[in-house]
């Protein structure tokens, strides 16, 4: 290996073999990425291109990194959350692919930001972000690097919201593609991915039986919908809280009880919030919860549970399991927080399964290629993934699953484009 110790910051290089085996296992469920890898190897779309990435360092991300390298890119990677790094995967990327990786599970906030700076040191042409911290760092403390940047991609709902606010302020200085908003991303990753992986995280943290429990889901966006659906499937009685009347109505008609958090707080055994907003589970909610209530967050940032107020109110905090802390309140009641209030699916489990990340990351790779193909033509703004990319990924995924679908006949096609054909005479 030719990387010097200064060119990476990871937990332990000796974990590399385990990481490599797990990457290979994940790759088996990522057939769309495998097809892209084949094309990238021959076409080299990223030759001479430096990509700075801040993403969850998982087996799935590692497979994305692998195909970018195969396409000729130079890539540096930092974690997009201090608790989501899989240390064996970080080691595998450094040891097998000589990739500069700066990510350690449990890193401090200071290390987290230092690691972002190291990624920016490669002077990226493309940023690949999950939550927008890399883009924010680039615009604030490293603005001298902006002139090199062709564009960026953003993985998550929270990041896209932040980017749109930045663009509206006139502060965004390069085009960014909202990978999250592709249908082949949020329909599957946010719903089925977050649904399964959040339940997985809560179960790994607690080993609790969901059947018969009151399971409160904060929000009813794509992620929360997935959590509610899967909790129901495990036999829980699901309660949804919302601020949006349309989404609340949808939750009602999907068969869930809907009420304000203040009321749900008294009923819930387990709480999981995925709204993208702050203090959805606040201290006045926690104060009326039953003894033993379990709290989890599945939103991007650790703001949905008011952890600061809970920490101040607690008379004692004890780590009772690997990813579970007991907060004892003055009256002797205890509540339990999974994964330190950070996204529970990555802090306490392994994130979304590879089969959905296959589509999310195909969007990432193809969006990066699209930015290069359109270099100089896109204004600084937030762009959708082009529809033909989205459709192509859906078609490839179906094909890889051995599923065939119908095509429109010429007659059907003509019918859809004719305005004269209404009620038959
Ligand atoms: N976000 C959610 N799950 C993930 C995974 N498995 N890898 C990377 N990012 C993720």
Q: What are the tokens at 81?
A: 């959350």
| DSSP three-state, residue 55 | strand
Q: Which residues of 388-406 are buried (b: 16+ CB within 10 A; e: fewer)?
A: ebbeebbebbeebeeeeee
- Give residue 48's Cα distance to chain centre: 28
Whether residue 58 has its Cβ less than 6 Å from ligand 1: yes
To test the pocket of ligand 1, the residue of 130, 193, 344, 355 to mutate (highest count of ligand atoms within 8 Å of its CB) is 193
Distance (Å, whole) CA 104 – CA 256: 39
C-alpha 138 – ligand 1 centre gap (Å): 23
C-alpha 258 – ligand 1 centre gap (Å): 29
Residue 423 pLDDT: 79
Whether residue 241 has its Cβ less than 6 Å from ligand 1: no
Whether residue 298 has its Cβ less than 6 Å from ligand 1: no
Number of C-beta neighbours around residue 284 at 10 A: 13
* Tally of CA atoms within 13 A in the half-sphere of 298 that contains its CB: 35
Tokens 């999250």 sit on residue: 180
Residue 421 pLDDT: 81
Residue 200 pLDDT: 98
C-alpha 423 – ligand 1 centre gap (Å): 49
To test the pocket of ligand 1, the residue of 64, 197, 355 to mutate (highest count of ligand atoms within 8 Å of its CB) is 197
Whether residue 56 has its Cβ less than 6 Å from ligand 1: yes
User: What torsion, rounded to 10 degrees, do the Cα atoms 366, 372, 375, 377 define?
Assistant: -20
Just give the CATH number of 5-185+352-400. 3.40.50.1480
Could you tell me which of 103, 121, 100, 120 has the C-alpha nearest to residue 112? 103
Q: Are 141 and 116 in contact (CB under 8 A)?
A: no
C-alpha 264 – ligand 1 centre gap (Å): 29
Strand order in the sheet with 50-55: 101-102, 74-79, 50-55, 126-129, 151-154, 176-178, 382-384
To test the pocket of ligand 1, the residue of 56, 86, 189 to mutate (highest count of ligand atoms within 8 Å of its CB) is 56
Whether residue 185 has its Cβ less than 6 Å from ligand 1: no
Whether residue 344 has its Cβ less than 6 Å from ligand 1: no
Fold of 192-347: Rossmann fold (3.40.50)
User: What torsion, rounded to 10 degrees, do the Cα atoms 357, 61, 30, 197 define?
Assistant: -40
C-alpha 60 – ligand 1 centre gap (Å): 7
Closest ligand 1 atom to Cα of 350: 6
C-alpha 343 – ligand 1 centre gap (Å): 11
C-alpha 192 – ligand 1 centre gap (Å): 12
Residue 1 pLDDT: 64
Shortest-distance Cα residue to atom 9 of ligand 1:
56
Closest ligand 1 atom to Cα of 58: 7
What percent helix, strand, coil does the chain show, rounded to 5? 50, 15, 35
Residue 231 pLDDT: 98
* Tally of CA atoms within 13 A in the half-sphere of 300 that contains its CB: 22
C-alpha 61 – ligand 1 centre gap (Å): 7
233 backbone φψ class: left, alpha, beta (φ>0; ψ -120 to 50): alpha
C-alpha 376 – ligand 1 centre gap (Å): 31
In the chain, domain spans = 5-185+352-400, 192-347
pLDDT in tens, the chain (425 residues): 678 777 999 999 999 999 999 999 999 999 999 999 999 999 999 999 999 999 999 999 999 999 999 999 999 999 999 999 999 999 999 999 999 999 999 999 999 999 999 999 999 999 999 999 999 999 999 999 999 999 999 999 999 999 999 999 999 999 999 999 999 999 999 999 999 999 999 999 999 999 999 999 999 999 999 999 999 999 999 999 999 999 999 999 999 999 999 999 999 999 999 999 999 999 999 999 999 999 999 999 999 999 999 999 999 999 999 999 999 999 999 999 999 999 999 999 999 999 999 999 999 999 999 999 999 999 999 999 999 999 999 999 999 999 999 999 999 999 999 988 887 76
C-alpha 412 – ligand 1 centre gap (Å): 40
Nearest-5° angle of CA 24, CA 126, CA 28?
A: 15
Instruction: Please indicate whether the domains covering 5-185+352-400 and 192-347 agree at the CATH topology level.
Output: yes
C-alpha 301 – ligand 1 centre gap (Å): 14
Distance (Å, whole) CA 410 – CA 408: 7
To test the pocket of ligand 1, the residue of 130, 159, 339, 352 to mutate (highest count of ligand atoms within 8 Å of its CB) is 352
To test the pocket of ligand 1, the residue of 128, 157, 346 to mutate (highest count of ligand atoms within 8 Å of its CB) is 346
Tokens 């910051």 sit on residue: 9
| DSSP three-state, residue 2 | coil
């Amino acid at each position: 290996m030719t990387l010097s110790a200064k060119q990476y910051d990871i937990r332990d290089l000796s974990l590399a073999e385990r990481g490599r085996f797990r990457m290979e296992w994940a790759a088996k469920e990522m057939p769309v990425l495998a097809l892209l890898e084949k094309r990238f190897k021959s076409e080299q779309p990223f030759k001479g291109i430096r990509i700075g990435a801040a993403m969850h360092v998982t087996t799935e991300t590692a497979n994305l990194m692998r195909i970018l390298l195969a396409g000729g890119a130079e890539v540096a990677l930092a974690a997009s959350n201090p608790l989501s790094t899989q240390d064996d995967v970080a080691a595998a990327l450094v040891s097998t692919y000589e990739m500069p990786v700066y990510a350690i599970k449990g890193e401090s906030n200071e290390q987290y930001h230092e690691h972002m700076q190291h990624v920016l040191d490669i002077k990226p042409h493309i940023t690949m972000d999950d939550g927008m911290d890399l883009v924010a760092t680039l615009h604030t403390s490293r603005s001298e690097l902006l002139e090199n940047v062709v564009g960026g991609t953003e993985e998550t709902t929270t990041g896209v919201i932040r980017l749109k606010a930045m663009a509206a302020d006139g502060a965004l200085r390069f085009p960014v593609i909202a990978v999250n908003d592709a249908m082949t991303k949020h329909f599957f990753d946010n719903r089925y991915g977050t649904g399964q992986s959040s339940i997985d995280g809560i179960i790994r943290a607690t080993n609790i039986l969901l059947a018969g429990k009151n399971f409160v889901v904060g929000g009813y966006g794509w992620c929360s919908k997935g959590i509610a659906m899967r909790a129901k499937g495990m036999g829980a009685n699901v309660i949804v809280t919302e601020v949006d009347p349309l989404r609340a109505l949808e939750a009602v008609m999907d068969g869930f009880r809907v009420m304000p958090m203040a009321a749900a707080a008294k009923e819930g055994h387990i709480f999981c919030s995925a709204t993208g907003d702050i203090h959805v589970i606040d201290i006045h909610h926690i104060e009326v919860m039953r003894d033993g209530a379990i709290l989890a967050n599945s939103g991007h940032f650790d703001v949905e549970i008011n952890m600061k107020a809970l920490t101040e109110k607690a008379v004692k905090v004890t780590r009772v399991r690997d990813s579970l802390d007991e907060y004892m309140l003055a009256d002797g009641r205890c509540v339990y927080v999974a994964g330190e209030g950070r996204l529970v699916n990555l802090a306490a489990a392994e994130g979304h399964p590879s089969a959905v990340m296959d589509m999310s990351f195909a969007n990432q790779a193809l969006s990066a290629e699209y930015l290069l193909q359109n270099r100089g033509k896109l204004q600084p703004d937030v762009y959708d993934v082009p529809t033909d990319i989205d459709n192509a990924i859906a078609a490839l995924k179906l094909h890889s699953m051995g599923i065939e679908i119908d095509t429109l006949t010429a007659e059907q096609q003509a019918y859809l484009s004719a305005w004269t054909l209404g009620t038959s005479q």
